[in-house]
Amino acid sequence: MARIKPQALLQQSKKKKGPARMSLTTIILFSFIVVLIVFFLFSTYRHWTHRSRFQSDNGLFVSEGENEFGDPKKSDVPGYVVLNTSKGHIAVELYKESSPEVVDEFIDLCQKGHFNGMPFNHVIKHTVIQAGSNQKFGASEDWTSRGKHYSQLDSSLKHETFMLGTSKGKRDNEGFELFITTAPIPNLNEKVIVFGRVVKGEDVVQEIEKVDTDENYEPKSSIRIINSSMEDLNQDAALGVICNG
Ligand SMILES: *[C@@H]1O[C@H](CO)[C@@H](O)[C@H](O)[C@H]1NC(C)=O
Ligand SMILES: *[C@@H]1O[C@H](CO)[C@@H](O)[C@H](O)[C@H]1NC(C)=O
């Protein structure tokens, strides 16, 4: 009896626990599958959120790039100024990035009409033309005293032709002079603050250069800047019309 009893009990418990155990393994198996699915879903979720964050980062970068192009503040500052001279129009591109203060000052003076009627007071052939109200020989001496070297130093510095600069040192608004080089000038940055370059009307610059000058490099006939106008960076077409017209 004692043997049967536990056996019966065992059988009973087998019968009873059988399905319970079965369901327990099913539950465990089911839980395991659920955990797997959750893990899979979670990792998929993480993958996609990471991906979309990366994409939005990318999107941000792109829109930042677009902002740089369309930055209203930047395009407010004119990229070009057209100098209307008695020989024709000279369009200059301004180096807003490398010489922001000088460019700002120049634009301010253009708007005030500072250059209207300003004569080209010194013309040093194959070197530079200078516009300014200052009749002192001054800075021109520096250009000519070493002038003989320039012809020897030749064309490797071609990019420095038709550069726009102004005098260095103490420079009040009255004294803002313009220099446009007509040849590659070594150490140009030592002589002037370069803040732009001629992009159209190089022929006009060369026309001005041809003027007869006296021994002080002063033109015998008057050549002047009539007035100046601002141009936006995106108005190259308009620039063409102005400069060719
Ligand atoms: C340049 O000056 C000439 C002569 O005064 C004038 O006819 C012309 O309209 C001016 N150009 C601009 C763009 O102001
Ligand atoms: C420049 O001056 C000319 C002649 O005085 C005038 O016709 C022209 O409108 C002026 N241009 C600017 C941009 O002030």
pLDDT tens-place string over residues 197-240: 999 999 999 999 999 999 889 999 999 999 999 876 455 545 55
Per residue in 141-161, pLDDT (tens digit) is 677 765 455 555 444 444 579
pLDDT at residue 59, as a whole number: 41
Determine the Cα–Cα distance for residues 149 and 131; give it in Å rounded to an integer: 24
Atom of ligand 1 nearest to the CA of 84: 1
Please say if the pLDDT value at position 71 is more than 60: no
Please say if the pLDDT value at position 72 is more than 90: no
Please say if the pLDDT value at position 129 is more than 60: yes
Atom of ligand 1 nearest to the CA of 227: 14
- What is the residue-averaged pLDDT of the chain? 75
Please say if the pLDDT value at position 74 is more than 70: no
**% of the chain residues with pLDDT over 70:** 61
84 CB under 6 A from ligand 1? yes
Q: Which residues contact 96 (CB under 8 A, 6 or more apart)?
A: 74, 77, 79, 103
pLDDT (average), residues 104-112:
92
Per residue in 117-126, pLDDT (tens digit) is 999 999 999 9
C-alpha 84 – ligand 2 centre gap (Å): 8
Q: To test ligand 1's pocket by mutation, which of 85, 90, 116, 226 has the most ligand atoms within 8 angstroms of CB?
A: 226
Tell me phi and psi for residue 138, to 5 degrees. 35, -110
C-alpha 206 – ligand 1 centre gap (Å): 19
pLDDT at residue 122, as a whole number: 92
Atom of ligand 2 nearest to the CA of 228: 13
Q: Within 6 Å (CB) of ligand 2, which residues are found?
A: 84, 226-227, 229
How many other CB atoms are found less than 10 A from the CB of residue 233?
16
Residue whose entry in the numeric block shows the structure tokens 């503040």: 73
Tell me phi and psi for residue 225, to 5 degrees. -85, 120
Determine the Cα–Cα distance for residues 164 and 161; give it in Å rounded to an integer: 9
Determine the Cα–Cα distance for residues 123 and 111; give it in Å rounded to an integer: 26
Across 180-219, b (16+ Cβ under 10 Å) vs e yields bbbbbbbebeebbbbbbbbbbbbebbebbbebebeeebbb
pLDDT at residue 165, as a whole number: 93
- Identify the top-confidence range among 59-63, 135-139, 182-186: 182-186
The lowest-confidence range among 25-39, 175-189, 211-225 is: 25-39
226 CB under 6 A from ligand 1? yes
85 CB under 6 A from ligand 1? no
34 CB under 6 A from ligand 1? no
If DSSP codes are grouped into helix, strand and coil, which group holds residue 21?
helix
